[in-house]
Structure 1
Amino acid sequence: MKTFLLTFVVGALLLATYPAAACTTTLTGKKASADGSVMVSHSDDGLGDGRLIYVPAMDHKKGSMRAVYYDGCSLGYKPEWGGSETQRLVAKDRGPGYDTAGYTHSVPIGYIPQVKHTYAYFDANYGIMNEHQLSIGECTDKAKVEPEPAPGKRLFYSSELSRVALERCTKAREAVKLMGKLIDKYGYYGTGETLLVADTEEGWVMEMCGYEKDGTGGVWVAQRVPDDSFFVAANQFRIRDIRDSRDMMHSKNVFSAAKEKGWWSPKNGPLDWTKTYGDGEYHHPYYSLRRVWRAQSLVAPSKKLSAWVKGPLTKKYPFAIKPDNKLSVENIFTIHRDNYEGTEFDLTKGLAAGPFNDPNRFEGQAESVSKKEGELSTVKGAFERPLNIYRCVYAYVNQSRKWLPDSIGGLTWYGPDRPATACLMPFYAGVNNLPAPLQQGDILKFDRNSMWTAFNYVANYAMLKYSFMIKDIHSVRDRFEAEAFGRQLGIEQTALSLIKNKKKAEAKEMLTKYCDDNAQKVLNKWWKLSEHLYIKYNDGYLNTSAGIAQSVFYPAWWLKQVGYEKGPLTYAKHPGEH
């Protein structure tokens, strides 16, 4: 009994400290995009809270304070800060979406002075986009020091920083400066972080971390992405030499802290942010760099970038790269859907993909949780880490478009669960609310009214016979996405006409209804799709109106590798058998 309890407690502790530390994020400048928009994308790759929440605009009384809550994305779920492992925030002060009954209320780490008015925005594990087209993406990075939260000393992690920025700012440069000031004044805890911040004109990469376990501050740096370029980050800092420039900002202590810790000296040349404050890649070599290589190779194949480097601090992959062709929303999401198809690392090929080309590779404890003791296997090794990963909870592409009013120009193309099996749905920055199915869900509950549950269910079921089922999924997905992209111009022209005729409220209502109706159709169809997959591939057969129990056997190459030919074809023993 004691052994069981010890095992249970250790397992619970490991689960509780699991961080969502494996995202990919991109930024596309206005001169690199097909339509002139500035685009930010993000895949949130850590199984947890998959809800997309609408936080409404609010007015606040003079002298009121804003609560700053702990973020489980930083260092894992900690019961002392309330909420739960499945509900990132439970609080009345963030609107109805977070006022969730039946869960322990979140406990503030501290408070900062509130402003008179805060803007409406879309929120998930990190802030996404506000009503003024300010857009944010994120990925977690490995820093040398990752402090714990502490009231009065270390209040902020990137999640809450991104939310404050969306509540108070309209421009990217303004948002970077505000988040920097908050780190400087109130301290920083948790992992290293990359936040991409964009508006209708420009995009910035902001990176941050702590540098003392029990200190009161943090350090940060930000670099502007050229308008004609594409940027990608994948769980490793990407900013290198810090220099004085209008296109770069940093905390005042970035040099002094590095000297104090003995990590850098001026005699060694410019301060290399990634080398000085970072701690390489997460988990294993190429966990981060392979994704950077793949994303840059997809947008600029003419560069013929090598997939191989000499070490984690390579400068082989530039900070930003000019794409061969201008990029669309579809191009960006294709990057997130990638499993290295067609390369030497193709995860749909080989014995590990099984007979039906499944690209999903479940991770062992050592690679899915950094700096934790304990192993699930004595076998040493690693699988390639793809851009598309089975434990992704959502992904999106934001567009900020200066030629349209904010309520229409700001657009989030959102896909629940992993990108390869997700369906992009449009949500305009000017909507009055988000569809209810997007705002509810609990990973420990099966909920047919939850958008995330529907997509996660289909994605998991598809792993039974991936090469067959993925075609059915894509057939439905492609139809919905084509319709959404096809209707986009007409919807936006109608909304724009209403606004020009001083009917802004009617325009917002129209956009809200369109987004809601489309999402509800997708949800209904996805559950129908799950039933269709169950019937069509029941018991490993192909079952259609043309006939039931049509045989679908394993491919010859797989049968040979798994020893099928050694099966019981005679009564004689095989050589070496006893």
Structure 2
Amino acid sequence: MQAKLSLSVLGAALLTAFATDYAIACSSVVVGKNASADGAVIISRNEDYTINNWNKKLVIHPRRDTDKGEMISFKNGLKVTAPQTMLRYTGLMDWNGDTTAADGPYEERGVNEFNVAVSATNSMDINDAAKKADPLVDSGVIEADIPSFVLPMAKSAREAVELLGKTVTEQGAGEGNGILLADTKEAWYMEIGSGHHWIAVRVPQDKYLFVANGMRIHDVNLADHENVLSSPGLADFVAKNKLLDHVDSKRFNFAKAFGSVGDRYNVDREWLGQHMLTPSLAQKVREQQYPLFLTPDRKVSVADIGRVLRANFQGTELAQVKDADRPMGVDRTIETHVFELRADMPKELQVLTWQAFGSPGAAVFMPMYENAMKDVPSALRAGTDVYEGQSAYWAFRADATLAQTNPGKYGPVLAGWQNHLEGAFLQHQSMVDHQLKKLYAQNPQAALAEANQWSNGNVLTAVQSAHDVFQSLMTDMTKSTEKKYTPAELEKIKAL
């Protein structure tokens, strides 16, 4: 990865981002399998927060049978009937998500035993007219709850969309959100636009989708049920409440009907993401809406995803725009995940998660086979919102903080470390996949045990390496505070 892009956490774009008052956040990239470098379906997202310090922990929920009449219940009042069997799934939960102090688990992203992956959510504004026509429901579907009831139940990405949509239709939604859902065959993108209305689109296999915090779905055919799913009576509702001047069900503009298009907070990132992946396409900055799907100039790799989710406006037209103050990976990014879903791998190894903690500009993407993991490394179980030396989040967050004290000096050090370690993970991954696939054919349990050990080892290696960087930076910082003595003063001190 290019150092100038991997240092967004240290650059001028980040410093200007400190001044933003916006609370909603997140940037996402979804890639169809024919548009990705290794044939994987990819969903990825920066999880941005309102404050800098907020730890996350990985949890594994085992498969279990439920009691008759059991409900999956959440703090805001949402209740979903539990299936007869709750599927095994992983979640990346807020550090306090399993306590009564939290608003909900905020598991944010995860994958289940059927290799269904969910990333929820990109927070989105709903316009006043849509809110008035179909008010939000306090006890409805919200970001804090989505993966925690979808992943234990859905056996495909489409089924996940249908389940989530049905729940919004019947029980309502408490927020406007954009949700990524995928399996090894396809990826879907869903937007919740009001108390009971939603839409979802299947990402074309040869294209990608970039999402910020503005609703994106437009120019879709509501009658194309193979590729578009939506709430009942959606077009009629929009027409009745005059949410669009003209309702065209064959080129339906959900984003304009329910959202706020053209907001610089969102379209700047939309332009940048598409500019980076399809630089051959000349587009003006700050258009009201950008194409929903685009073909990349070259097939997209995990390294490309990291480059986009770390990017600032340096070297682009927006660098000269004074109020272009919202790049991708900002300091309040608390984690970034990339799910690669590969149909050519054994079932338990089909999902490869690339996980980073803190702002991705100062962190390393660590690969893990989450469906093969039996153990969660201690670094992904530890920590709160207060600094400590055990968790993965604080290991990377601490390095970013120290590097910001002298970006010109420490930035290249941090970038060199990041590129070296992450580059090694990326370089070796195809070999690891090949070895595990070969071993699985001979002894599945041995392959899964190896994948579990390898995944845990990657986390431990990366965290220890981050601690080593912290030690080096802190040592150098303390040296920099030494007083500079004249030769005469120094001789006098030595003589004392």
CA contact (8 A) 2:115 2:351 kept: yes
SS at match of 1:345: helix
Q: In the alignment, does 2:378 pair up with 1:393?
A: no
TM superposition shift of 1:473: 1.1
Match of 2:179 among 170, 182, 195: 195
CA contact (8 A) 2:302 2:338 kept: yes
Q: In the alignment, does 2:447 pair up with 1:507?
A: yes
Q: In the alignment, does 2:24 pair up with 1:21?
A: yes
Q: How does 1:76-155 map to 2 (within 5 A)?
A: 109-124=78-93, 125=106, 126-137=108-119, 138-144=121-127, 145=131, 150=138, 154-155=139-140
Consecutive unaligned residues of structure 2, counting only runs of 5 or more, are 1-20, 94-105, 486-496
CA contact (8 A) 2:279 2:297 kept: yes
Q: Which residue of 1 aligns with 2:466?
A: 526
Q: Deviation string for 1:282-340 (max 9, x for gaps)? A: xxx4110010100100011110222233xxxx23x210110111110001110011112
CA contact (8 A) 2:380 2:392 kept: yes
TM superposition shift of 1:159: 4.1
Q: Which residue of 1 aligns with 2:382?
A: 440
What one-letter code is carried by the residue in structure 2 that aligns with 1:184? T
CA contact (8 A) 1:121 1:167 kept: no
TM superposition shift of 1:109: 4.2
CA contact (8 A) 2:40 2:341 kept: yes
CA contact (8 A) 1:333 1:396 kept: no
TM superposition shift of 1:182: 1.4
Q: Deviation string for 1:158-208 (max 9, x for gaps)? A: 442333222222321111111111112222112x11111111121111111
What one-letter code is carried by the residue in structure 1 that aligns with 2:26? C
TM superposition shift of 1:122: 3.2
Which range moved further: 162-171 or 266-275? 266-275
Q: Which residue of 2 aligns with 1:483?
A: 424
Distance 1:149 1:52, change over 3 A: farther
Match of 2:163 among 156, 178, 182: 178
RMSD (CA atoms): 2.6
TM superposition shift of 1:149: 5.2
CA contact (8 A) 1:203 1:224 kept: yes
CA contact (8 A) 2:83 2:153 kept: no
Q: How does 1:1-80 map to 2 (within 5 A)?
A: 21-46=24-49, 47=51, 49-70=54-75
Distance 1:468 1:264, change over 3 A: same
SS at match of 1:52: strand
| TM-score, L = length of structure 2 | 0.82
Distance 1:45 1:112, change over 3 A: same
Structure 1 CA distance for aligned equivalents of residues 246 and 269 of structure 2: 32
Match of 2:258 among 252, 277, 291: 277
Q: Which residue of 1 aligns with 2:154?
A: 169
Structure 1 CA distance for aligned equivalents of residues 207 and 383 of structure 2: 37
Name the structure, 1 or 2, with higher relative contact order (CA <8 Å, separation 6+): 2
CA contact (8 A) 1:68 1:160 kept: no
Structure 1 CA distance for aligned equivalents of residues 449 and 140 of structure 2: 37
Match of 1:160 among 121, 145, 159: 145
| TM-score, L = length of structure 1 | 0.71
Structure 2 CA distance for aligned equivalents of residues 267 and 510 of structure 1: 55
TM superposition shift of 1:266: 6.0
Structure 1 CA distance for aligned equivalents of residues 55 and 419 of structure 2: 22
CA contact (8 A) 2:238 2:247 kept: no
SS at match of 2:295: coil
Q: How does 1:248-263 map to 2 (within 5 A)?
A: 248-263=228-243
Structure 1 CA distance for aligned equivalents of residues 88 and 332 of structure 2: 31
Match of 1:335 among 281, 303, 308: 308
What one-letter code is carried by the residue in structure 2 that aligns with 1:134? V
Structure 2 CA distance for aligned equivalents of residues 299 and 141 of structure 1: 23
Which range moved further: 401-410 or 157-166? 157-166
Q: Which residue of 2 aligns with 1:220?
A: 198
What one-letter code is carried by the residue in structure 1 that aligns with 2:32? G
Structure 1 CA distance for aligned equivalents of residues 188 and 209 of structure 2: 10
SS at match of 2:468: helix
What one-letter code is carried by the residue in structure 1 that aligns with 2:84? V
SS at match of 1:207: strand
TM superposition shift of 1:384: 1.5
Larger radius of gyration: 1
CA contact (8 A) 1:38 1:200 kept: yes
Q: How does 1:362-511 map to 2 (within 5 A)?
A: 382=323, 384-429=325-370, 430-443=372-385, 445-501=386-442, 503-511=443-451
